[in-house]
Structure formats: structure tokens, C-alpha cells
Amino acid sequence: MGIVQRDGFKLTIVSYIGLILGYVNKVLLFPNFLSTEEVGLTNIMINISVIYAQFSALGLNGVVLRFFPFFKDEEKKHHGFLFWVSIIMSFGFVLTTVAFITLKPFVVAHYSVSAKLLVDYYYYIIPLGFATVYFQLYDSYLRSLLKTVIPSFLNEVVLRMLVTVAVTLYALKVVDFHQFVMIYVGVNCCLAVLTIIYAAYIRQLFLKPLFTKRVKRFSKSMFGYGLYSILASSGNALITNVDALMIAALMGDQLVHGNKVGGMYFVGIYTTVFFFTTVMLIPYRSILKITSPFVAQHWKERNMKAMEKLYKQVTAVCLVIGTVVFLGVWADFDDIFSFMPKQFSSGKYVFLFLSLGRLFDMTAGLNGVITYTSRKYKYDLMLTLLLVVLTIGLNYVFIRILDMGMNGAAIATSISIIVYNLLKLLLVNKFFKIQPFERSNIWVLMIGGICFALNSFLPFLGNIYLDMLVRSVMIGALFMGSILFFRIAPDVNDFVIKSLKTFGIRLRFLEE
């Protein structure tokens, strides 16, 4: 875990700097200077671009993680690996774009009333999808080279700084909303360009066409894996983004405080609250970026003992971090949302329901990576397709039939995530005889539950800033203090000990 802890620490620092910038954008700027519908548009455009990118990539992001270790040879320019995946992905982007343009009449028919802004800015999603697919491909490539910090810095920090500039220009009325959207799309495109420039800077931008014996040997396996991977990755993108699309389509023409609003109004609230659930995923994604190449390496070496050890370590660490972040945000939720227009506070239970699903996703650890990088990846595809159907069905039932609106979408999404991960856990255990849980995980959940209940008894202290500080310190200290004192998660203790030693601090009770 040495490399994982070191780079994980760097990535977490980068991610939380990005989180501060994200907070400025999502909490202080977007809701206060854009209308709720405009907030919904900017967020749903990103959601659609993620789906767009997954179809465009033709499963190549998974192919890179799975097969690059067999091509890695800097002297031989990695056997032309980057060139071939870039060419194939470009072809996939063209096919997806043709399909996207063809679907315009369908979108107009279903969204022209409830989400007119989405129809008006439909074609702006094409360059967003282009930028997203190229960034994801080169991010996967750099991850396989164990170069994870700079791409994350570009995505988490630089991009959000540029977005801050864009929304500030709009807030100061330097640009109108149409110009703001153009700038917003442009800064997202800059992310892909900067990532490619970084690959060239570290002398890993090998785009010369090479057709070596290695390429010929693995081409059939890569093609087969890619076919399954495209469906699996596209399915995952649909599972995590379809809720916002269905809210936009199914929640139009509703009265809120005497005013008729469309689906984009609710998308603006839902996707803003959704941002806070991503706070929990920041350390998980950082660790996942670093550990994915190690999983591929363990498969190459057929080292299942190392795989199981890594599996348990990631689950233990992510459960602790995910729980403490959830408790921190939940404790301060009302204070945080007091900085935003009142309508956004209606998403409080959206956050709660989504967080439960995300926490279970983190707790499941590496099950997804282990499955889709193994020879049993076809089962991962079947589970994904099943969950796509389940997610769409549950969202329709909870949003439209049960008329639960945004809360229904959050419940449906969390149920889908939990079922999906349960099935994957069973799959990994059945085929590889490994599972990520230990008895200590139960203690983490129990301590988290106590802290969650305790928060409801804490009175408001009269001052927002003081209330946020006291709640965060009390809940965080109680939870993390218990975890560290009783050594419930040894890897967390080890990480804290090493971090404190860098500042010359030594706490003996942590080492006992």
C-alpha cells in the first residue's frame, strides 16, 4: 500500500482543493447568479456528455486498463498502443455523433416542454462529449503509466478555476447566458487539450502507427473485450446519469410556490445536491485510480493473495473515509444550504438517500475493477445491462407512478447501486473466492450510526459559521477518534501515523 498511500494522499489533497473550488462554483456562484433552470442545464449537459463519451470510447478505457501492461515498453513506444486506441476511439466518436444528431427529433418530442433549454443547447453537447472522451482515454492511459496526480490536478483544480472565471464573467454581466455556455463548453475542451500536452511533456505521446507482433497477438482479445466493455461502461454511465434525464422528462409543468416550473428546475436542485455526494467519492476515486493498474498487474501475475489483501485494504479505508465525509456534510447540511436560494434546501433527503447508495458503492471497494479486468468480465456486462433496466424502471416507478419526485429518483438510484454492488460482490466471491469485508467494518458502521444520531440532538448555536465549526469538530473527532484509538482500521492508523511524522508529531496511543 506504500505507493497507493503516497499517491492517494497527493490525489486526495488535489481533490479537496478542487472540492473548495467546486463549493465556490456549485454553492456560492451557480445558484445565486444563474436561475435554477440554467443551473440544471449546465449540470445535465455534463451528465449527457459522460454518456456520450462512454458510447464514443467503444470500451477502450477498459481495454487500456486491462491490456496496457502487456504492451508497456517505452523503448518500443508501447508497440503503437496509444495510436491504435486513439484511431478507434475517433471512429467511435463519429458514429456516436451521427446517432446523437439522428436522435434530435426524439429529444424535441420529449423535452421541448419540460426542458426547453436542453433542446435549445442540444448541439453544444457534441464538443463536450468530444472533450470528455479524449480526456477519459488519456487519463486511463496515464493511470496505466502510474501518472495520476497531474491529470487529476487538471480535472479537479484547473478546470474548476476556469469554470469559476466563466461564471464570474456572467455574474458581472460581461457576457450573456448564451456566451457563458460557449465559454463553459470551451473550458471543458481545454481539459482534454492540457491532458494530451502533459502526455507529450513526459514523452509518452506515442502516436506513430506500429503493427508489431504484440499488437497482432492481442488484437482479437482486445476486440472481444472492447465489445463487452462498451456495453458495460455505457451501462454504468446510464445508471449514474439517467436519473437527472428522467427528472427533466417526467417532472415538467408543476406548481412551486404558485409558479409553474419545468423539469430543468428540479434538475438544477437535484444535480446541485448530487455534487455533495461526490464529496464522499473523492478519496475513493483517487484510490481507485491508483489501485486499478495494480489489479491488472495482479491478474497478470495471478497473485490472488495480493489481490485479496488489496481488496480488503481498499474497502476498510474507503468505508472509514466515506462515513466521516458523509457525517460531516450531513451535520452541516442546513448551514451549507443557507448560502443558497431557499428552493435548494428541498434536496436534503435527496442527499441522504443518494449518500447511502454511494457509501455502499465505496464499501464494495474494488469489486468492479476486479470483475471487468478478469476473464469473467462478460458477467459484469450482464449485471450492468440488468441494472440499466432496473434503474430506468425504478426511476419511472418512484418519480411518476409513486409521485415521489426528486426523492424518488434518489431512492431508485441508491437501490440500483446497492443491488448492482451486491451482485458483483457475490460474483467475485463465487469465481475468485475473495471478499472485502472484515468484522471491523461493522464497528465502523456502528460508530457512524451513533454519530449520525448524536447530530440530531445538537442545537443550532445561533451563528452559521460557529455552528458548522462545532458540529464538524465534534462529530469528526468522535468518529475518527474512536476509529484511531481502537485501531479498527489499521491502514488508516498507519496512514495517520506516517502523515503526522512528516510534521514531527508522534502520538504513542496510535502506535500501540
Q: Where is pLDDT greater, at 77 or 510? A: 77
Please check the confidence at residue 137 and state whether its pLDDT lies above 70: yes
Q: Region 295-316: what's the mean pLDDT?
A: 89
**In the prediction, which pLDDT does 194 show?**
94
Please check the confidence at residue 347 and state whether its pLDDT lies above 80: yes
Residue 510 CA to residue 484 CA, distance in Å, equals 6
Q: Where is pLDDT greater, at 376 or 315? A: 315
Residue 135 CA to residue 193 CA, distance in Å, equals 8
Please check the confidence at residue 3 and state whether its pLDDT lies above 60: no
Which triple of cell numbers denotes residue 508? 504513542
* Cα dihedral sign, 194-146-3-435: positive
Residue 80 CA to residue 187 CA, distance in Å, equals 30
Residue 264 CA to residue 436 CA, distance in Å, equals 40
Residue 105 CA to residue 94 CA, distance in Å, equals 19
Q: Region 170-193: what's the mean pLDDT?
A: 95
| pLDDT tens readout for residues 142-175 | 888 878 888 889 998 999 999 999 999 999 999 9
**In the prediction, which pLDDT does 489 show?**
84
Please check the confidence at residue 373 and state whether its pLDDT lies above 80: no
Q: Where is pLDDT greater, at 3 or 165? A: 165
**In the prediction, which pLDDT does 376 show?**
83
**In the prediction, which pLDDT does 244 show?**
93
Please check the confidence at residue 126 and state whether its pLDDT lies above 90: yes
**In the prediction, which pLDDT does 382 show?**
82
CA-closest candidate to residue 161, choices 24, 301, 304, 41: 24
Q: Where is pLDDT greater, at 492 or 99? A: 99
**In the prediction, which pLDDT does 210 show?**
73
Please check the confidence at residue 342 and state whether its pLDDT lies above 80: yes
**In the prediction, which pLDDT does 510 show?**
54
**What number of residues does the chain have?**
512
N-to-C CA span, the chain:
20
* Continuous segment of H or E residues that includes residue 279: helix 263-301
Q: Region 9-35: what's the mean pLDDT?
A: 86
- Mean pLDDT of all residues in the chain? 87
Q: Region 79-83: what's the mean pLDDT?
A: 80
DSSP 459: P
| pLDDT tens readout for residues 208-240 | 777 777 777 777 777 777 777 787 788 878 888
**In the prediction, which pLDDT does 394 show?**
95
Residue 318 CA to residue 290 CA, distance in Å, equals 14
Alpha-carbon separation of residue 107 from 36, 118, 510 (angstroms): 21, 9, 57
**In the prediction, which pLDDT does 493 show?**
80
**In the prediction, which pLDDT does 431 show?**
92
Q: How many C-alpha atoms does 96 have within 13 Å on its Cβ side?
A: 28
**In the prediction, which pLDDT does 23 show?**
87
**In the prediction, which pLDDT does 508 show?**
60
Q: Where is pLDDT greater, at 275 or 259? A: 275
**In the prediction, which pLDDT does 308 show?**
92
DSSP 343: G
In this structure, are residues 155 and 135 in contact, taking their beta carbons and an 8 Å threshold?
yes
**In the prediction, which pLDDT does 169 show?**
96
**In the prediction, which pLDDT does 395 show?**
95
Please check the confidence at residue 278 and state whether its pLDDT lies above 80: yes
Say which range, 69-78, 243-252, 287-296, 399-408, has the weakest mean pLDDT.
69-78
Question: DSSP string covering 11-72, please?
Answer: HHHHHHHHHHHHHIIIIIIHHHHS-HHHHHHHHHHHHHHHHHHHHHHTTHHHHHHHHHHHH-
| pLDDT tens readout for residues 45-63 | 999 999 999 999 888 887 8
In angstroms and rounded to an integer, the radius of gyration of the C-alpha atoms of the chain is 23
Please check the confidence at residue 512 and state whether its pLDDT lies above 80: no
3-state secondary structure 113-172: CCCHHHHHCHHHHHHHHHHHHHHHHHHHHHHHCCCCHHHHHHHHHHHHHHHHHHHHHHHC
Percentage of the chain lying above the pLDDT 90 cut: 53
| pLDDT tens readout for residues 441-453 | 999 999 999 999 9
